[in-house]
């Protein structure tokens, strides 16, 4: 017989073992919890299905996402930096803002974004509403004000009637952000070969991809890139073993850039990015310093795991990462043409 005290210990240990993915589970809509609970022990699990959303809101949000009307001088739309035909980002190391200044950061993909626990490279936001509002108002992003933006939208007959029909009144802060956010919740990319594999189709991965997956787990990539987004749910130092700082001193722009600390490492903390669709979102890292996945994987081996990966292991891991490419509207995401990559 196992005593009650022992049972208690067994339950505590089991809970602790599953706990590194708790954050990701919390981030998911509650309807997904029970379906995923069975997979809790596995650090990687399939993408939850596209949620059921109000299609009218999705379409209004899509229209707004593509419309420069959202930006101060009507020059930029969300899609200028998050092109849904180019992996939900653009193939530029760092994007250029409103006043012509290069941003500190590479544009993250907006695909599967509702499934990230923290948003942005520094993980400053946990809510898409707050994050989107900041983008609309920030001087070097969309450079708008609520007053100017709402006046413009209300004067636009088409928007005025869409908002009236869906939200029962003229466009306001809440309804505009809601439409944008509901649209982003629809940006899910299911049916990646890796998801099919996790769901039981053992032929979905090539032999090379399976070897890459085994390496991804055995050498420890999975300790940081985990959950259904294969990342997006924790903060980590960039440079656990080897310092990857460039001349731009990346550690000045991490999560704690201004915190006075004698420990330089603390400043190089970034959100671990999701690796979903990473095949089509080059260049890589917060500042876009790596042009290819091979390069990014080699840097990860060295800086995060303290190991020099050989060419054959890098090839296998890259091949596995390519199995994370999913579909949007039934079409597999594609990498942008080479001439567009800068």
Among 21, 27, 182, 221, binds ligand HEC (CB under 6 A): 221
**Among residues 143, 140, 164, which one has the least CA distance to residue 153?**
164
What's the full length of the chain, in residues?
342
Span interacting with ligand HEC, options 31-39, 116-124, 150-158, 200-208, rule CB under 6 A: 116-124
Least distance in angstroms from the C-beta of 13 to ligand HEC:
24
Least distance in angstroms from the C-beta of 256 to ligand HEC:
13
**Among residues 198, 201, 251, 205, which one has the least CA distance to residue 226?**
198
Tokens 């990559």 label which residue? 341
CA 128 to chain centre: 12
CA 253 to chain centre: 19
Least distance in angstroms from the C-beta of 32 to ligand HEC:
18
Cα–Cα distance measured from residue 269 to residue 173, given in angstroms and rounded to the nearest whole number: 33
Does 185 participate in binding ligand HEC (rule CB under 6 A)? no
**Among residues 78, 37, 86, which one has the least CA distance to residue 334?**
86
Does 152 participate in binding ligand HEC (rule CB under 6 A)? no
Cβ pair 112, 47 in contact under 8 A: yes
Q: Measured on CA atoms in the order 161, 164, 169, 173, is the torsion positive or negative?
A: negative
How many alpha carbons lie under 13 Å from residue 260 in its C-beta half-sphere?
0
Does 209 participate in binding ligand HEC (rule CB under 6 A)? no
Cα–Cα distance measured from residue 18 to residue 92, given in angstroms and rounded to the nearest whole number: 38
Among 28, 47, 187, 224, binds ligand HEC (CB under 6 A): 224
Contacts of 24-32 spanning 24+ positions with Cβ under 8 A: 24/117, 24/226, 24/227, 24/228, 24/229, 24/232, 24/233, 26/117, 27/115, 27/116, 27/117, 27/233, 28/115, 28/228
Residue 57 vs 168, nearer CB to ligand HEC: 57
Among 27, 44, 47, 78, binds ligand HEC (CB under 6 A): 78
Residue 43 vs 301, nearer CB to ligand HEC: 301
Least distance in angstroms from the C-beta of 52 to ligand HEC:
21
What is the C-alpha R_g of the chain?
A: 21
Does 70 participate in binding ligand HEC (rule CB under 6 A)? yes
Among 53, 129, 135, 242, binds ligand HEC (CB under 6 A): 135
Residue 8 vs 23, nearer CB to ligand HEC: 23
Does 131 participate in binding ligand HEC (rule CB under 6 A)? yes
Among 44, 110, 198, 280, binds ligand HEC (CB under 6 A): 110
Residues 253-292 interacting with ligand HEC (rule: CB under 6 A): 270, 272-273, 275, 278, 281, 284-286
Alpha carbon separation from 105 to 1, 71, 144, 234, 242 (Å, rounded): 58, 19, 20, 18, 21
Residue 43 vs 273, nearer CB to ligand HEC: 273
Least distance in angstroms from the C-beta of 125 to ligand HEC:
8
The tokens of 289 are what? 């310093």
Does 177 participate in binding ligand HEC (rule CB under 6 A)? no
Give the residues lining the site for ligand HEC (CB under 6 A): 70, 76, 78, 80-82, 95, 97, 103, 105, 107-108, 110, 113, 116, 119-122, 128, 131-132, 135-136, 141-142, 180, 184, 219-221, 223-225, 236, 238, 240, 270, 272-273, 275, 278, 281, 284-286, 293, 296-297, 300-301, 304-305, 317
């Amino acid at each position: 017989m196992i005593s009650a005290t022992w049972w208690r210990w067994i339950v505590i240990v089991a809970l602790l073992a599953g706990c590194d993915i708790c954050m990701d589970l919390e981030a998911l809509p509650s309807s997904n919890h029970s379906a995923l609970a069975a997979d809790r022990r596995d650090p990687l699990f399939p993408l939850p299905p596209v949620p059921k959303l109000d299609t009218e809101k999705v379409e209004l949000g899509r229209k707004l996402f593509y419309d420069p009307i959202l930006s101060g001088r009507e020059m930029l739309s969300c899609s200028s930096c998050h092109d849904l035909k180019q992996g939900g980002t653009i193939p530029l190391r760092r994007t250029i803002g409103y006043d012509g200044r290069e941003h500190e950061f590479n544009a993250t993909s907006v695909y599967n974004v509702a499934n990230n626990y923290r948003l942005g490279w520094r993980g400053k936001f946990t809510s898409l509403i707050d994050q989107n509002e900041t983008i609309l108002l920030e001087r070097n992003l969309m450079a708008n004000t609520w007053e100017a933006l709402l006046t413009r939208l209300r004067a636009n007959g088409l928007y005025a009637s869409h908002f009236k029909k869906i939200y029962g009144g003229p466009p306001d802060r809440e309804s505009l952000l809601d439409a944008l956010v509901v649209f982003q919740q629809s940006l899910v990319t299911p049916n990646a070969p890796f998801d099919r594999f996790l769901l039981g189709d053992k032929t979905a991965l090539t032999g090379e991809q399976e070897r890459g997956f085994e390496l991804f787990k055995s050498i420890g990539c999975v300790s940081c890139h985990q959950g259904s987004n294969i990342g997006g749910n924790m903060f980590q130092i960039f440079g656990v073993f080897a310092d990857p700082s460039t001349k731009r001193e990346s550690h000045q722009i991490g999560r704690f850039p201004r915190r006075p600390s004698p420990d330089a490492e603390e400043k190089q903390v970034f959100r671990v990015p999701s690796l979903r669709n990473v095949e089509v979102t080059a260049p890589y890292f917060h500042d876009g310093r790596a042009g290819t996945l091979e390069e990014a994987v080699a840097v990860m081996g060295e800086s995060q795991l303290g190991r020099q990966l050989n060419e054959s292991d890098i090839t296998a891991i890259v091949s596995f990462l390519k199995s994370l490419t999913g579909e949007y509207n039934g079409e597999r995401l594609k990498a942008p043409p080479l001439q567009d990559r800068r």
